[in-house]
Amino acid sequence: MKKKYLLFIVVFCAALTMYAEVVLPKIFSDNMVLQRHVMIPVWGKADVNEKIVVKFNGKTKTIKTDKNGKWIVRLDAESAGGPYELSIIGKNSIIIKNVLVGEVWLCSGQSNMEWTVGLSMNAKNEIASADYPQIRHVKIPHTISSLPQSDLTPGDWKICDSTTVSEFSGVAYFFARMIYDSLKIPIGLINSSWGGTNIETWISRAGFESSDEYKEMIAGMPNFDLDSLSKIYVRSSELRIEAMQGTKLADLNPVLFKEFSFDDSNWPQLIAPQLWEQQSIGELDGVVWLRKTIVLSASDLKKEGVLELAKIDDDDITYLNGIKVGSTNRWDTKRKYTIPVGILKEGKNVIAVRVVDNGGGGGIYGDSSDLKFSVGETVIKLSGNWKFHVESIKKATNENSLPSLCYNAMINPLIPYAFQGVLWYQGESNSGRSYQYRKAFPLLINDWRQKWNNPNMPFYFVQLATFNTSGNSNEGCGWAELREAQTMTLSLPNTGMCVTTDIGVPWDIHPTNKQDVGKRLAAIALNNVYNKKMICSGPMYKSMEIKDNQAILSFDNIGTGLFTPDKYGYIKGFEIAGKDSVFHYAKAFIKGKTIVLFSEKVENPVVVHFGWVGDASDCNLFNREGFPAVPFRTDEWKTVTKDEKYKIEKMKL
């Protein structure tokens, strides 16, 4: 009995000690950067009514915790400098070392923001030359939550050098490097991004509730913890997939799916290369089989074959005629598998690919020219229809399955950390409902500004790059409509947009030239925030005048003049239409401060488009400072995504 009593006392005292300890949010750690020229929030938890002393750069602040054990102090504004120590003293002491004061930027979005220096253009040289100890970067780990969290999953601040920079966000690093080279002060980068995420996962529930566009949707969001939501989501997805496939997942025998003789005639189809989230499968993480049949002649059997599957998100095991020919466990790597002599058959041959998607996008993606089978001089294109069958659904809610999941776990815990502004690169995952992005994007910006109580917080973003998606002026184009929605968001105060149509790669949704993206964002910040006046954006459509069969366009932001690198002065990317709404390519040229365009096929022009296509790499209108013109249209005739809305699937147990 006495031993049990002593054990109780030890456990009780240990619990009291743990509860009494001062605890800081995990964003506060060695090597961090604090924002200059503002009151600096420092906060945490301790015992109820505990005295907390905070010391920084020779100054001291004292406060007592509230009835919930929470406390917050705001340190006096500081000029750029350091390194300093930040000391927090209660019943225990915490010392944060090597703290700098400078400019802090929150960097968020999807894969093109997350894309690292190590995966960027000229990576080897960029890494070798990275000696910027006053640039610091912290990557917030991927985490989701159905409820707003008060702290992050741990992530450490890293000092920029050749051993660390490879894992920095490329866009953020190249932005910071240009800012540092201009200002020579510390730069902190908080990288809270996640590839494949839609914008809705980054908006708070309160933000949705304040929106006429979304308040009905968010009212249907179940109030369950994540485990319960996950079970509901998985069962709901199973019912949807089973209805599509006509079979129950529990009745499947997927070991047969790789076999040559398996009958896949009743399987549904999807298009490859294209992520399945953009197709009938929809939002789904798990295991999906893809099958395609090709036909070979007898002469093709005498040589080794080569099977190329572009890129696959995330992992694959690939079979040909039931025999494993390769596997890869990287989402950003092209697949290329050698097929030994003896595997191929005269006539029909079956390619079967088991794809495992752990999160974000899923399936075969990339350039259609990288999706092919070759043997000798025979080349068979594999782009187009593939049969598919879902084997299993990942037993977890994914980051896109419900609204606010990433906001709750990766943004809310940062409040009220002080920073200068936000860099945002996202939109690819919303291109299927681009029209609604006109509401969603301003909602996110206003939501974050409200949360930080900073209605004029700088918010600079990257417009979608060139990418070979479907659609054009005559069919309508969701990718172009997303760019338009981004441009319209410039109506919000203190926003800026980096146009990237000239530095994308038509066959790759992840262009590796992150250097110019970072530089263009930095030019906006240097001009708008840091009073380093410069041209920081390209020509933007202002007005149109019709004279006879010509359209004469005027632009803002022409800098020192309109320019094209074409040696003959031909301006590409313009289309023109009359009242029949049929667009034709236009001949265009610079005339003073205007663009004059016409087409022999359009006698009475009414409407002009510029860059109204996913792959806008032909567009070659710039100002003389090198910034590309913003894609635009002068009409609202074809809006193919207008009726596409974000919604929570009706989930059933």
- Tokens 């031909």 -> residue: 570
In a domain, residue 648? The reply is no
Instruction: Note whether residue 389 is domain-resident.
Output: yes
CA 109 – CA 254 distance, rounded (Å)? 36
Contacts of residue 308, Cβ cutoff 8 Å, sequence gap at least 6: 334, 335, 336, 337, 370, 371, 372, 373, 374, 382
Same domain for 48 and 162, yes or no, is no
Helix (H, G, I), strand (E, B) or coil at 101: strand
Domain's final residue, options 375, 393, 411: 393
CB proximity list for 427: less than 8 A, separation 6 or greater: 110, 199, 437, 441, 463, 464, 482, 486
* CATH assignment of the domain containing 315: 2.60.120.260
* Residue at 640 is within a domain: no
Full-model pTM: 0.82
| CATH number of the domain enclosing 33 | 2.60.40.10
Determine the pLDDT at residue 454: 97
DSSP 466: P
Residues forming a β-bridge with 555: 541
**Domain end call among 358, 393, 428:** 393
For residue 413, is it within any domain?
yes
What CATH number does the domain containing 131 carry?
3.40.50.1110
- pLDDT at position 651 is 52
Q: Answer yes or no: do 494 and 385 share one domain.
A: no
Q: In terms of C-beta distances under 8 Å and separation of at least 24 residues, what long-range contacts does 214-221 make, across chains too?
A: 214/403, 214/439, 214/440, 214/443, 214/646, 217/403, 217/645, 217/646, 217/647, 217/648, 218/403, 220/648, 221/402, 221/403, 221/404, 221/648
Residues 618, 588: one domain?
Answer: yes
Same-domain pairing of 493 and 598: no
List the structure tokens of 334: 């092209």
Q: Are residues 36 and 106 in the same domain?
A: no
> Do residues 426 and 381 share a domain?
no
Mean pLDDT by 10 residues, the chain (653 residues): 47 46 96 98 97 97 97 98 98 97 98 96 97 98 94 94 98 98 98 96 97 94 77 83 88 91 94 90 90 94 94 94 94 91 95 91 91 94 96 82 94 98 97 97 98 98 94 95 98 98 92 98 98 97 97 97 96 97 97 97 97 97 98 94 86 46
Output the CA–CA distances (angstroms, integers) from residue 12 to 5, 6, 7, 67, 92, in the order listed: 10, 10, 8, 21, 18
Check whether residue 447 and residue 479 sit in a common domain.
Answer: yes
- Structural domains counted in the chain: 4
Which among 393, 422, 444 is the end of a domain? Answer: 393
Write the CA distances from 408 to 113, 206, 358, 413, 575, integer angstroms: 19, 11, 20, 8, 44
* Residue 49: exposure state from Cβ atoms within 10 A (0-12, 13-18, ≥19): exposed
411 and 487 fall within a common domain: yes
Q: Is residue 614 within 8 Å of residue 477, measured between CB atoms? A: yes
Q: Do 285 and 161 share a structural domain?
A: no
Q: Rounded CA gap, 543 and 558, in Å?
A: 13
Residues 439 and 489 in one domain: yes
Q: Does 2 reside within a domain? A: no
Q: Specify the pLDDT at position 431.
A: 95
Are residues 215 and 126 part of one domain? yes
Q: Which helix (H) or strand (E) holds 228?
A: helix 226-245
Distance of CA 640 to the CA centre of its chain: 23
DSSP conformational letter for 309: E
Residue 653 lies in a domain: no
Which residue range(s) make up the domain with 337? Answer: 230-393
Task: Please indicate, yes or no, whether residues 238 and 268 belong to a single structural domain of this protein.
Answer: yes
Residue 11 inside a domain? The answer is no
Residue 522 within a domain: yes
